[in-house]
Structure 1
Amino acid sequence: MKNPQINKRSLGVSFDKLGVAHVTLWAPLAKEVAVLIGNEKSELALQAGEYGYWTLSTDKLKPGDTYTFSLNGEKERPDPASLAQPDSVHGPSKAVDITAFSWTDAKWANPKLDDYIFYELHIGTFTAEGTFEAAIDKLDHLVELGVTAVEIMPVAQFPGDRNWGYDGVLPYAVQNTYGGAEGLMRLVDACHAKGLAVVLDVVYNHLGPEGNYFNDFGAYFTDKYHTPWGNAINFDDAWCDAVRLYYIENALMWFRDFHIDALRMDAVHAIKDLSPVHILKEIKQHVNRLIAETGRQHHLIAELDLNDPVYINTLEEHGYGIDGQWIDEFHHALRVTAGEPQTGYYSDFNGIEHLAKAYRDAYVYDGIYSPHRQKVFGVKAEKNTGNQFVVFSQNHDQVGNRMLGERTSTLVSFEMQKLMAAAVMVSPYMPMLFMGEEWGETNPFQYFISHTDKELVEAVRKGRREEFKAFHAEGETPDPQAEETFNRSKLQWDLLFQSKHQTMFAFYKELIKVRKQHPALKYLNRSDLNVDYNKEKNTLLLQRRHGDEKVCCAMNFSDQQQNIALPAGPQWVQLLNSANQQWGGNASEVTPGVVEPESIIIYINHYV
């Protein structure tokens, strides 16, 4: 089989120092393969090699040239490993010299995961322009906020110019309407110059439907398994070696050639692989080789819905070695505690009791019966550290997969918004914000597409309507194909000039500052933690420690003032009270343990 290349691309089109193009295509069933260059479609034949690979070295294909592959003289297709698609997923690929970019980040050092404070954003709706270049202009805002890692939703080429990114069909190509490969490189370079790490969301569990020509080249899919998106990607069936190589090299490319710091891998529970070495484990092994060769640190983070720590256990512990994972259960427990109706998947969560369990155990369902799933679910994550879990009160899924895409700001009070944000920030896990939440953005984030296949568009519309039956939502589901659905989802940066939103932004800045400055909150030690709750009062007391420093977080999720007894011992001093007037609240009481409705007080022992 063909082995992954650590130091350079081995698939698609790449250029050496002399400007010679090296072309490699996997098409095991083809009898003839040629590359067609430019509008004239100048034809150059590829040579058949081992394991179904076809190759060519030529000086006739230059950076900037468009090209396609001809299969048996019958089908003309874009390159599966294309780096650029100037005319969308159906048009020709464009040759890119990925080594030509002039990086300025030689002194950049990727932070440890402990120091990651994530900020998830969607390039198309983060700014009015919806481009990488426009995002660069907003980086000073993120620096002022205090986040340390920018997490970008998928940028792999998708149909049209409006999409969440999970319908991408060319995993190596960077969306042309965002600014392409060079635009992404410029954004990464600018982030590093500002001290921000960059996390890229990648999709290795499926490919989108429109523009998906992979079956014309080889067995990229298998009917052994099925996913919510159709046949699974072929990671363990006949011809799977080349498919595994394709995704391994994709991960390496983002790290090596685009200087990405971490990958967030979408829904890895939907990756079907019974190989002796799971594809995620093999990706991790090759990423470790890259780290050893370059000296640059890179992280892998999974979205996972299995509550199975084998994914995040180390290679030495016979796990897959993924560095961290999202945990939706913290979000679900927090939202039910804050008043979210217990419908759909929220029906599994009872509020404050499960929130306390999420603080203690990471997984809520860790070997207990799940009524929603109607089975015992999950195992305990006792040996896993806090820097292996990402928590949040909002993200693209949890906002955008509501029928109307409502943000927290339109669902709960101003005071509850602050409390929910603080509940995330004081956790012993890595916190994540969703773009705009730091000023209480009121525009929704709705699901949008721009497919050209009318039958596919109607199927998506029908699917969205079916999806919300469990939530008993009222009203009409927004049309995902309509441009106004996309435009409605853009951030309103001018809200930052309004007093109420300025106050929310200032509160978020203070929250992040407090987390960074105090070791008891900054260091993610799950063992130095206690949590108590009162179900009747809907209150929770979180205690965290580091060395001699102790912090108490008294949270009141009820609509009444509550007394929360503080631990005996040190004299407790307020670090932050979300109900104070400077944060838009009405608190005047300074009695220790008296917590205003829907608010949090963070205390520290007076010895520090």
Structure 2
Amino acid sequence: MHTLFVPAHGPRRLPDGSWLFRLWTTRRKPAVLVIEAPCPQEIPMKACGGGWREARTAPMPAGALYRIRLGDELLADPASAHQPQGIDGPSMTDDPAAFIWTDSGFGAVAMPHAVIYEIHTGTFTPEGTLDAAAGRLPRIAELGVTAVELMPLTETTGRWNWGYDGVFPYSIHHRAGGPDALRRFVDTAHGLGLSVYGDVVLNHLGPEGNNLPKFGPYLSRRHHTPWGACPSFDGASAQAVRRYFLDCCLRLMAHFHMDGLRLDATPYVQDDSAEHILAALTRETQVLAAASGRRLHIMAESTRNEIHLTTPRSAGGYGMAAQWSDDFHHAVHARLTGESCGYYAAFHTAQNPAKPAQTPPAAGQQSKEAQKRCPPAAAVSPVDALAEIFVRGWFRQGQLCPWRKQPFGDQPRGLQPSQVIVYLQNHDVTGNRPSGERLHALTCPAARRMAAAALLLSPFVPLIFMGEEYDDPAPFHFFVDHSPELNRQVAQGRRREAAAFGWMPCATAPEPHSPAAFENSRLSWHLQDTRYHATVRDLYRRCIRLRQTLPSLDSPSFETLYVSRPHPQVICTGRTDPARIYSSWLLLNCGPQAATFSIDAATAPLARQQAWSQALCTADRRWHSPHTQEDEADLPHRFAAGTHIPVTLPPWCALLLA
């Protein structure tokens, strides 16, 4: 499929084995291609108009090391596919046609059937490489997951990074293994039936090692983000800059066979052009998909509930496949933990009903000042909010947000459940906590089981953060490795952000640049098959299996979804298949007390079905933690429509009837 797409920037191998190197620069300086290995030589780059320069070499193998001399400065190629010695070393040529793929029969799963698993390559395995990660993929496939999503892999400064500080957008990080390692990972994933999505940053470049401004106006003087200048998608030289970033994205799908992209923080991708760069990317992705006969997905990470992102292009939207939505997470997290600072203020509860007794109140807990700033009157019950999310897709639809101090969110007109990606944990909501605690440090096992069922049996596209499926105890910290001065500034900035959010300082949390922040974030794979962790994994696998096999859960649509509230802390979501032949009910007790109600009141919207049987109950003894005392479920295995006999759901219990 690589022949269907040829990037405008950078080197490419020609049919006769020679190489054509293309560079765009507005600098009025001579440009020289400097080949350092295997055969050192210098070739002047000829001007071709519009700022483009070209140089052609004699036939040579892929893997040549080179730089570009612009005036008196020797620089890596801005379109470098690989920086094998890091950001300060030479670039390396890469030939996509040389890799032998074995995935010709693979087809990505459609979004309504997707279950996504988010991975940070460096901490996913002890080795921290793509090849090592590929070796773990069979365990992910066994879980029932349909797609893995890789956090950004572009070259960054230092030894460790989340990936969002990339400075060579075309490169695949040398510590992860480089371009062919990514191809091997994708090929392995496809062989296991797993799609692969890449996380792409289009809103800024990293604060150190960025050479793009030395070549031309790649960065905007008008548009800025909290992390630096936005690329100049609408400036005087926008055509070449837009092509640079569009090709950077398209090549991941064409040259690396990725099945789609997750676009980071799309509200900060600023562009005043007639066609926004995100709309252009979606349009060109659809062209590539049609030409290659593949299903390709573009997904946005938006914190603002923006309906135009997923509205079809024919109706004036961008036509993306789906978007991340925080509302589900915020509502569930606020209910489980009682936290009310920062963005949890909109889903406030007065106490922490699901917090484990052994958890100390210091690390990551909100300050008294934050509680005063966010009184309960400023927010809504998280259970009420969650019920609204099940009905509409997201909660914030123009209401005032206490955290933002302004209204936000669109009416979700035309939105479908398969266009909403939800989660209990991800790299942001976990790693941006001062101590990087996962949910297991903040809640009791019963609450986590109920939340997992709510996620995986919801009508939305669920995302699992690596290790969540077996309650890995490792935290996920924020970590970077910049110069000493920038490291100091980042640490200070993180402390200011935590204080503004309302978190209490945590003296035991490692600084972002310390080796401990990175090393402590590695998963503990050896725990997966131990008693408690294996039980959690089995619950996740069971929920995913039910999601994929029950006809009523297989084709999510708001038109065939019903919500009832038979008790203040209970949400009942009813689902039917498109033909309305099969139905199911997910009953969620979102509270620390048992809830008693009539099954007839809960299932009234679908009372025409004669009976339902238990498909899953998270309060069953088989799911219990061996280290806790929990209420055991005492529920009938079959429920008839019209039954007025009271049913009691144990605390923090999810019951699926089908």
Q: How high is the TM-score relative to the length of structure 1?
A: 0.96
Cα pair 1:157 1:168 within 8 Å, conserved: yes
Structure 1 partner of 2:514: 482
Q: Is 1:561 equivalent to 2:594 in the alignment?
A: yes
**CA gap 1:576/1:190 in 2 versus in 1, 3 angstroms:** same
Give 1:135's match in structure 2, choosing from 133, 136, 149: 133
Structure 1 partner of 2:67: 68
Structure 2 partner of 1:305: 303
Q: Secondary structure at the match of 2:198?
A: strand
Cα pair 1:23 1:57 within 8 Å, conserved: yes
Structure 1 partner of 2:50: 51
Q: Across the two proteins, how many residue pairs are aligned to each other?
A: 598
Structure 2 partner of 1:501: 533
Structure 1 partner of 2:6: 8
Give 2:478's match in structure 1, choosing from 437, 440, 447: 447
**Deviations along 1:395-438, whole A, 9 cap, x unmatched?**
11111111110001111111111111111112111111000111
Structure 1 partner of 2:452: 421
**Deviations along 1:32-79, whole A, 9 cap, x unmatched?**
10111116863210001121011111116642121111111x111111
**CA gap 1:257/1:548 in 2 versus in 1, 3 angstroms:** same
Cα pair 1:556 1:599 within 8 Å, conserved: yes
Q: How does 1:20-39 map to 2 (within 5 A)?
A: 20-38=18-36
Give 2:617's match in structure 1, choosing from 577, 580, 583: 577
Cα pair 1:337 1:355 within 8 Å, conserved: no
When structure 1 is superposed on structure 2, of 216-225 and 586-595 the one drifting more is 586-595
* Aligned counterparts of 1:96 and 1:571: Cα–Cα separation in 2: 61
Structure 2 partner of 1:587: 632
Cα pair 1:553 1:603 within 8 Å, conserved: yes
Letter in 2 for 1:581: R
Q: Secondary structure at the match of 2:170?
A: strand
* Aligned counterparts of 2:146 and 2:458: Cα–Cα separation in 1: 17
When structure 1 is superposed on structure 2, of 206-215 and 7-16 the one drifting more is 7-16
Q: How does 1:161-560 map to 2 (within 5 A)?
A: 161-349=159-347, 350=380, 351-451=382-482, 453-469=483-499, 470-476=501-507, 477-533=509-565, 537-546=568-577, 547-560=580-593
**CA gap 1:426/1:565 in 2 versus in 1, 3 angstroms:** farther
Give 1:152's match in structure 2, choosing from 150, 153, 167: 150
* Aligned counterparts of 1:564 and 1:353: Cα–Cα separation in 2: 17
Question: RMSD between aligned alpha carbons?
Answer: 1.7
Q: Secondary structure at the match of 1:316?
A: helix
1:573, distance to aligned residue in structure 2 (A): 1.4
* Aligned counterparts of 1:575 and 1:60: Cα–Cα separation in 2: 63
* Aligned counterparts of 2:59 and 2:191: Cα–Cα separation in 1: 37
**CA gap 1:588/1:307 in 2 versus in 1, 3 angstroms:** closer
* Aligned counterparts of 2:17 and 2:650: Cα–Cα separation in 1: 68
* Aligned counterparts of 2:587 and 2:187: Cα–Cα separation in 1: 41
Cα pair 1:337 1:538 within 8 Å, conserved: no
1:226, distance to aligned residue in structure 2 (A): 1.4
1:563, distance to aligned residue in structure 2 (A): 1.5
* Aligned counterparts of 2:60 and 2:47: Cα–Cα separation in 1: 19
* Aligned counterparts of 2:273 and 2:287: Cα–Cα separation in 1: 21
When structure 1 is superposed on structure 2, of 526-535 and 144-153 the one drifting more is 526-535
Letter in 2 for 1:404: S
Q: Give me the identity figure in percent.
A: 34
Q: Is 1:123 equivalent to 2:121 in the alignment?
A: yes
Cα pair 2:47 2:54 within 8 Å, conserved: yes
* Aligned counterparts of 1:157 and 1:356: Cα–Cα separation in 2: 42
Cα pair 2:4 2:292 within 8 Å, conserved: no
* Aligned counterparts of 1:77 and 1:340: Cα–Cα separation in 2: 52
* Aligned counterparts of 2:60 and 2:213: Cα–Cα separation in 1: 26
**Deviations along 1:442-484, whole A, 9 cap, x unmatched?**
1100011122x22111111111111111223232342111111
Q: Is 1:598 equivalent to 2:652 in the alignment?
A: yes
Q: Secondary structure at the match of 2:68?
A: strand
**CA gap 1:366/1:588 in 2 versus in 1, 3 angstroms:** closer
1:361, distance to aligned residue in structure 2 (A): 1.3
Cα pair 1:223 1:231 within 8 Å, conserved: yes
* Aligned counterparts of 1:280 and 1:212: Cα–Cα separation in 2: 23
Cα pair 1:136 1:187 within 8 Å, conserved: yes
Q: Secondary structure at the match of 2:98?
A: coil
* Aligned counterparts of 2:65 and 2:596: Cα–Cα separation in 1: 69
When structure 1 is superposed on structure 2, of 590-599 and 262-271 the one drifting more is 590-599
Structure 1 partner of 2:357: none
Letter in 1 for 2:261: L
**Deviations along 1:537-562, whole A, 9 cap, x unmatched?**
42211111212111111111211211
When structure 1 is superposed on structure 2, of 28-37 and 100-109 the one drifting more is 28-37
Letter in 2 for 1:252: L
Structure 1 partner of 2:369: none
* Aligned counterparts of 1:314 and 1:6: Cα–Cα separation in 2: 25
Q: Secondary structure at the match of 1:184?
A: helix
1:6, distance to aligned residue in structure 2 (A): 5.2
User: Which 5+ residue runs of structure 1 have no aligned equivalent?
Assistant: none
User: Which 5+ residue runs of structure 2 have no aligned equivalent?
Assistant: 348-379, 625-629, 640-646
